[in-house]
C-alpha cells in the first residue's frame, strides 16, 4: 500500500468542474417533506440519478477523458466495468470523440451489455471471469497502447466526482451533514475533499451495505484487505478497493467522519419510500443514505443532504420492491 500520494485538492476539483461543464448535467436538489418531518431538520436529496447515464460516474469519467493528451486520446480508452462506470466512460469517450472498449466476461447479463453498447462503446466479450476480462484490458494497454481508466482510485476520477460536492454546497449552503454512498470511495473522497476545503465543519458520513462493505472493513483493519463480494440490493457498491489502493483509502480514512452500514431490508424500504414519497426511481446503491435516515440511525443538529447516486435498477426488481414484495437477493445467485 502506498499512502504517499498527495490528496486530490479543491483546485483540482474546480478545474474538473470547468472541464466537464459541457458534457455533465448540474443535477437538482429537492427538499424532502417526508424525511424532513421524520428527521426534525431539513433533509435535501441530491437527485444525481437524473444525471446523464443514470449516475455520478459520468463526472469522473468525463474529467479523466478530458485530461488525456491528444496522443492518448488517439489511442483510446479501455475499462472493465459492466455497471455505472462502464456507462459513464462509454458516454464520456463518445462525447469527446475518443474510441472506447469495455471488456467483460461472457457471464455478464445481456441487459448490462446492451446498456454499455447503447452509450456507444465497443464491447469485447472475453473468457468466463472478471479476471479474464481484466487480462484482455491489460493486453489492450500493453500491446495496443490504449489507456485504462479505473473506476475510483485515480486523481481525475476523484476530482470529477468531487464536482458533485461543490454543486451541493451551492444548492444547500447551510448543510451540516452529507450522506454519501461508498464503494471504492471515489465519490466520498471527492465530495469530502471539496466540502471540507470550503466548510470543514460539515460532517461527511459514508454509507455502505452490510453485505460485503469493502471500505468499511479496510478502515477497521487499518489497511486495504480482501473482502468477499456478496449479493446485495446495493449492487453498484460491491467489489474491493484494491490491495494496492493509492488514494481513496487514505482520503476516506482522513477526510470522512464515519462510514456506517445499512441492511438489505433498510435499502428496500428506502427504494420504496423514495418512489412513493418522492416519486423518484433509484437503485439500491443510491438509496443507502435515505435508508439510514428512515432507520433513524443518524442524528444531525442541522440540515442533512443525501446523495441519490444512481438510478440504474432492473425495472422488474424495482417493481417488485415498490409493490411491497420482500425481495431477498441474498438468496439469489450473485
Ligand X SMILES: *Cc1c(COP(=O)(O)O)cnc(C)c1O
Q: By the criterion CB under 6 A, which residues form the site for ligand X?
A: 55, 57, 84, 152, 181-188, 236-237, 283, 285-286, 309-310
Task: Give the Cα separation of 13 and 284 in Å (integer).
Answer: 27
Q: Where do we find the cell 452529507?
A: 178
The smaller minimum CB distance to ligand X, of residues 186 and 212, is found at 186
The smaller minimum CB distance to ligand X, of residues 79 and 286, is found at 286
Least distance CB 44 / ligand X (angstroms): 18
Would you state the cell numbers that stand for residue 233, as one nine-digit string? 440490493
Spell out where 162-246 has E strands: 177-181, 203-209
Question: By Cβ distance, which residue is nearest to ligand X?
Answer: 310
The smaller minimum CB distance to ligand X, of residues 33 and 243, is found at 243
Q: Where do we find the cell 462493505?
A: 213
Least distance CB 288 / ligand X (angstroms): 8
Q: Which of 10, 293, 24, 30 is nearest to 158 (CA)?
A: 10
Q: Where do we find the cell 469485447?
A: 124
The smaller minimum CB distance to ligand X, of residues 183 and 300, is found at 183
The smaller minimum CB distance to ligand X, of residues 76 and 86, is found at 86
The smaller minimum CB distance to ligand X, of residues 66 and 89, is found at 89
Least distance CB 286 / ligand X (angstroms): 5
Task: Give the Cα separation of 10 and 14 in Å (integer).
Answer: 6
Least distance CB 81 / ligand X (angstroms): 9
Q: Which of 108, 111, 110, 89 is nearest to 100 (CA)?
A: 89
Least distance CB 203 / ligand X (angstroms): 18
> Taking a C-beta distance cutoff of 8 angstroms, is the pair 314, 264 a contact?
no
Least distance CB 142 / ligand X (angstroms): 26
Cα three-residue angle 294-300-301, rounded to 5 degrees: 140
Amino acid at each position: 500500500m502506498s499512502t504517499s500520494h498527495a490528496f486530490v485538492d479543491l483546485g483540482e476539483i474546480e478545474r474538473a468542474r470547468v472541464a466537464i461543464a459541457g458534457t455533465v448535467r448540474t443535477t437538482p436538489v429537492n427538499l424532502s417533506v417526508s424525511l424532513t418531518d421524520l428527521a426534525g431538520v431539513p433533509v435535501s436529496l441530491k437527485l444525481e440519478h437524473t444525471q446523464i447515464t443514470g449516475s455520478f460516474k459520468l463526472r469522473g469519467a468525463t474529467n479523466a477523458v478530458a485530461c488525456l493528451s491528444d496522443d492518448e486520446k488517439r489511442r483510446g480508452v479501455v475499462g472493465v466495468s459492466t455497471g455505472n462506470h462502464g456507462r459513464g466512460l462509454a458516454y464520456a469517450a463518445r462525447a469527446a470523440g475518443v474510441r472506447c472498449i469495455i471488456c467483460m466476461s461472457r457471464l455478464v447479463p445481456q441487459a448490462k451489455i446492451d446498456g454499455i453498447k447503447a452509450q456507444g462503446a465497443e464491447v469485447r466479450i472475453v473468457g468466463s471471469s472478471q479476471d479474464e476480462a481484466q487480462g484482455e484490458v491489460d493486453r489492450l494497454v500493453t500491446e495496443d497502447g490504449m489507456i485504462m481508466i479505473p473506476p475510483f482510485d485515480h486523481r481525475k476520477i476523484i476530482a470529477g466526482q468531487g464536482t458533485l460536492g461543490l454543486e451541493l454546497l451551492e444548492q444547500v449552503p447551510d448543510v451540516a451533514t452529507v450522506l454519501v454512498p461508498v464503494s471504492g470511495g471515489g465519490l466520498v473522497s471527492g465530495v469530502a475533499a471539496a466540502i471540507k476545503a470550503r466548510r470543514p465543519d460539515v460532517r461527511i458520513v459514508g454509507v455502505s451495505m452490510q453485505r460485503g462493505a469493502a471500505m468499511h472493513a479496510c478502515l477497521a483493519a487499518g489497511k486495504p484487505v480482501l473482502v468477499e463480494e456478496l449479493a446485495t440490493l446495493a449492487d453498484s457498491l460491491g467489489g474491493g478497493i484494491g490491495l494496492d489502493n493509492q488514494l481513496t483509502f487514505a482520503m476516506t480514512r482522513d477526510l470522512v467522519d464515519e462510514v456506517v452500514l445499512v441492511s438489505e431490508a433498510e435499502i428496500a424500504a428506502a427504494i420504496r419510500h423514495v418512489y412513493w414519497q418522492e416519486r423518484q426511481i433509484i437503485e439500491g446503491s443510491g438509496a443507502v443514505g435515505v435508508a439510514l435516515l428512515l432507520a433513524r440511525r443518524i442524528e444531525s443538529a442541522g440540515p442533512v443532504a443525501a446523495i441519490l447516486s444512481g438510478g440504474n435498477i432492473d425495472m422488474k426488481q424495482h417493481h417488485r420492491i415498490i409493490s411491497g414484495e420482500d425481495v431477498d437477493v441474498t438468496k439469489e445467485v450473485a
